[in-house]
Amino acid sequence: MQSRVFLVPITLAIVMTAGCADPPTQQIQEAEKALKEAQESGASTYSPDEYAKLEGTLDTIRKEVSEQDGKFALFRDYGKAQQLSISAKSESERIQVATAQKKEEGKAAAMQAQQVAEEAVRAAQQLVAKAPVGKDRAAVEAIKNDVEGLQSLLKQVQDSIDKQDYPAAQTQAKAIHDMSQGVQTEIQNALAKVGRGKPPLSRRQ
Amino acid sequence: MLLGRVNRTLTSALCVLCFSACVQAVPPDLLAALETIDQDMIALRAPETAPEEYRAFVRQWIALKSRAEFDDDVIRWPWETSELENELRGLYLRGERTVSQLHDRQASRQRTAQSKVASIEDRFHHMTSQVASIDGRIVLGERVVQTDLLVKQARTFFEQKDYQRAIQVADEANQALMNQASLLTQELGRYADGERIASWQAMAQQTIDWSRRHQSSAIVVSKAERELTLYKNGRKVLSYPVRLGFNGIREKQFQGDGATPEGRYRVTDKRGPGQTQFYRAFVLDYPNAEDRRRFDLAKKTGQIAPGKGIGGLIEIHGVENQFTEQTLGCVMLDNPNMATLFESVPVGTPITIVGALTGQNAVALALSQLTNHNNREEI
């Protein structure tokens, strides 16, 4: 009998503790902060499906907390919200790392394409300097015009890289490379036809 | 004692019966099917192309999955209906419908992108060939490569199955083409302007009349038709094809612009072998008083930069050699034709250079075709 009496305060203490369960505010705030950081790192662009799932998890956490808040104090259980918050935070951090990696890969690919395009434009410029002022002066001027245009288009590639729009930078660089090669072929064909002579242009007009 | 044993046995049997009668609230294959729906949406690029729909699906999917994972409603009696399972089935049906709609939308977007990219490529090639046929490429400056870039970008995005961006860039290319057509019309529209053509016709007719009145030679050059015609005593004697400056189709404005001037000139000098690098040449009196007046006015109004000169040494000449057939604003003939002309034309001969002599000239026709093609193929 004496030992049973001893159990009463223990039981009461347990009930009181359980009844005073608090929402895992700190974990939720950390998860929300991690989600915001993931968004700022570009996760919504580079990992849109995973980012949407994170948003879904945060939404579920909020609903769960609200559901538990609505219950009688003794029956509240924030365990699920806590576990979800912890997993959302670690998932956000993982996605941030993955996003940074994807961005780096995209940037590296864009910069490589940019370099290839720059080399192709440079080669076209060098060839244009040797271009024969041949049968069709208008065509030669048009080629020069195109090469100048290609040079200025390279700025667009840099702009896209600066804006972190790496897919656009890559497609632009690829197009510039293809166009430069087209110009080079055009000039090489002309050189093959008429030789490498280029007369001085000393006249007014 | 016996009664106690019976009780224990009965209790155990009841427990076994109870637990064996319980069923899982969520069939695992239903969860697997929803995972598949999610993967299908990702494969269809729903997160990028239909973010609202994907977000709505994912919110419900995550909420229901967490209920299943956290053992909410997981065990139930066989006669109980599972709310969670019902909700998952509902989500599955909605997800299936969304996937089907996304699939249709994707197919439609693919068709649109394909048609837009093919159309813009066709229009770009058409414009390029039309512009080349009238030597108008210089008029467009760097716009041609800028548009070419967009056309190629649209194709690459299409090949990467990024139909949305392919459509967006094809639309930009379309706008760039429209701007090019508009610039060409603005710069070369005078070739289709009835009043301007009438004035050119009048200039040419006056030159022919002068030839008849003075029983002498006169030359008329039509820039649009790339043709030089020699008149003697007011009668057409011969016509030769000519090449112009690299920017010859435009009106000459200043030195080095590559344009061939339009106006009434005279041969001020004939240069034979040893006097010109271009086989034979007629030197014209460009710039004449009218050219100077126009130039001064354009400078005053800021149309020509202050540092620019009016230029000079406009000639009708032959070809120096096979490597250097060139002109920066002159009128150039093949050497045999130049030789014939050289013998027939004395110093003082009037030479009238006009844009075009008929409304159906090559430039006007090219502009009209471009406009028609643009209107027909506009996307």
A39 token code pair? 């968004």
pLDDT (tens digit, 9 = 90+) per residue, B357-375? 998 898 998 888 887 776 6
Q: Provide the pLDDT for residue B30.
A: 92
Question: Which residues are B351's β-sheet partners?
Answer: B219, B265
Q: Cα distance from A9 to chain B (closest Cα, Å)? A: 31
Residue of B nearest to A152 (CA): B142
Mutate to test the interface with A, among B326, B327, B353 (most CBs of A within 10 A): B326
Choose between A116 and B291: higher pLDDT. A116
B198 class by beta-carbon count within 10 Å (0-12 exposed, 13-18 middle, 19+ buried): exposed
Q: Provide the pLDDT for residue A5.
A: 58
* For range B55-72, the mean pLDDT: 88
pLDDT surpasses 90 at A4 = no
Restricting to B residues 286-345, those with a Cβ less than 8 Å away from any Cβ of A are: 309, 311-314, 320, 322-330
Q: Provide the pLDDT for residue B327.
A: 60
Question: Which pLDDT band, with edges at 50, 70 and 90, does B75 fall under?
Answer: low
Q: Provide the pLDDT for residue A201.
A: 41
pLDDT (tens digit, 9 = 90+) per residue, B167-219? 999 999 999 999 988 888 888 899 999 999 999 999 999 999 999 999 999 99
Q: Provide the pLDDT for residue B11.
A: 66
Q: Provide the pLDDT for residue B318.
A: 86
Question: Which pLDDT band, with edges at 50, 70 and 90, does A196 fall under?
Answer: very low
Q: Nearest-5° angle of CA B339, CA B324, CA A197?
A: 145
User: Going by DSSP bridges, is the β-strand pair B315-317/B331-332 parallel, antiparallel, or unpaired?
Assistant: parallel
Q: Cα distance from B39 to chain A (closest Cα, Å)? A: 9
Closest residue by Cα to residue A199 from A100, A128, A131: A131
Question: Are A121 and A102 within 8 A, CB to CB?
Answer: no
B199 token code pair? 């004035």
Question: Which pLDDT band, with edges at 50, 70 and 90, does B21 fall under?
Answer: very low
Q: Residue B59 and residue A55: Cβ atoms within 8 Å?
A: yes
Distance of CA B306 to the CA centre of its chain: 34
Of B144, B258, B324, nearest to A141 by CB-CB distance is: B258
Mean pLDDT of chain B: 86
Question: Which pLDDT band, with edges at 50, 70 and 90, does A198 fall under?
Answer: very low
pLDDT (tens digit, 9 = 90+) per residue, A59-75? 999 999 999 988 888 88
* For range A129-155, the mean pLDDT: 76
Of A57, A195, A198, nearest to B62 by CB-CB distance is: A57
Half-sphere exposure of B349 (CA within 13 A, CB side): 26
Contact of A132 with chain B, judged by CB distance below 8 Å, is answered with yes
Contacts of B331 (CB under 8 A, 6+ apart): B221, B228, B242, B243, B244, B260, B315, B316, B317, B353
Q: What is the pTM of this model?
A: 0.77
Q: How far apart are CA A3 and CA A10, in angstroms?
A: 12
* For range A129-140, the mean pLDDT: 62
Contact of B225 with chain A, judged by CB distance below 8 Å, is answered with no
Q: Residue A56 and residue B61: Cβ atoms within 8 Å?
A: yes
Percentage of chain B with pLDDT > 90?
Answer: 47
Most confident of A184-188, B106-110, B135-139: B106-110
B329 class by beta-carbon count within 10 Å (0-12 exposed, 13-18 middle, 19+ buried): buried
Q: Provide the pLDDT for residue A7.
A: 64
pLDDT surpasses 70 at B244 = yes
pLDDT (tens digit, 9 = 90+) per residue, B223-239? 999 999 999 999 999 99
pLDDT (tens digit, 9 = 90+) per residue, A99-124? 999 999 999 999 999 999 999 999 99
Q: How far apart are CA B250 and CA B255, in angstroms?
A: 13
Question: Are B372 and B261 within 8 A, CB to CB?
Answer: no
Q: How far apart are CA B115 and CA B155, in angstroms?
A: 11
Percentage of chain A with pLDDT > 70?
Answer: 78
Q: Nearest-5° angle of CA B164, CA B168, CA B173?
A: 145
pLDDT surpasses 90 at A32 = yes
Residue of B nearest to A57 (CA): B62
Choose between B49 and B76: higher pLDDT. B49
Of A57, A63, A137, nearest to B326 by CB-CB distance is: A137
